[in-house]
Amino acid sequence: MARAVLPAIADQLRLVEFGTEFATGMSLVPAVGHTPGHAAVSISSGGQRLLHFGDLITVPALQLRHTDWVGPVDNWPAHTVASRRRLLDQALEPATLTMASHFPFPGVGQVTTDGTEGGWSWQPVD
């Protein structure tokens, strides 16, 4: 589908590299694995950060505790696991909220850890 649609709108697209600020306070963070070019989005303002995982975590109740569990939709399993763990570590930084397409309502919260491998959890904001 992308090969059919993207050429038709190519003049309306602005491609950006990982780490490039594409709007004030917004940049793409590599999250390769779910798909080859999969990206998370980092939004920063006033000393706070929102990290959107996209589809890196599709079953949060399982994949926060078992970061090495991948599904058939994850094209590159080893990269998915590495990206997931790296972004979860980033989510532990102070003043960082997270969200993801597959997190339960309200979809925005904080990642915490008990300090052990696979000890991540997610708490929704009130």
Q: In terms of DSSP H, where are the helices of 1-100?
A: 2-9, 60-63, 77-91
pLDDT at site 114: 73
17-26 confidence digits (pLDDT tens): 999 999 999 9
For 13-124, give the CATH class. alpha beta
Which residue stretches of the chain have pLDDT < 70?
116-118
Domain edges within the chain: 13-124
pLDDT at 2: 81
Q: In which residue are the tokens 């998915």 written?
A: 80
pLDDT reported for residue 61: 87
CA-to-CA distance for 26 and 21, rounded, in angstroms? 5
Q: Which two tokens stand for residue 122?
A: 């997610």
